[in-house]
Amino acid sequence: MTHDLFSSVVVARAGMRLWHHTERARLTMRPFDESFVDAYLARAGDHVLSSVGAYQLEGLGAHLFTKIEGDYFTILGLPLLPLLSFLAEHRIGLEKAA
């Protein structure tokens, strides 16, 4: 089964949207049975239930998938690279070293 995961970010100032970006990642799950899910949840612990989809790709959740298309940071919940590009283009964030 393949599912789409969408993540968006907005930059606003004084209530006005300056920029926004949405990305999609596609995740294909491997076939598994109930015993696999039980073992995964027992090993991952209760904190995994606070994640969308009850997986954390940066941990044991990688075992749930056979194919992942898209940006890693999008899957973690924030399309970070496009945001960093916007900030760099507008000279927001990292300051030049003195």
pLDDT, tens digit, 9 for 90 and up, residues 6-53? 999 999 999 999 999 999 999 999 999 999 989 998 998 888 888 877
Q: Element (H or E) spanning 44, and its range?
A: helix 34-44
CATH code for 2-89?
3.90.950.10
Residue 73 near residue 8, CB atoms below 8 Å: no
Residue 86 near residue 94, CB atoms below 8 Å: no
- Which are the contacts of 7, defined by CB distance < 8 A and separation ≥ 6? 22, 23, 25, 74, 75, 77, 78, 79
**What pTM does this model have?**
0.75
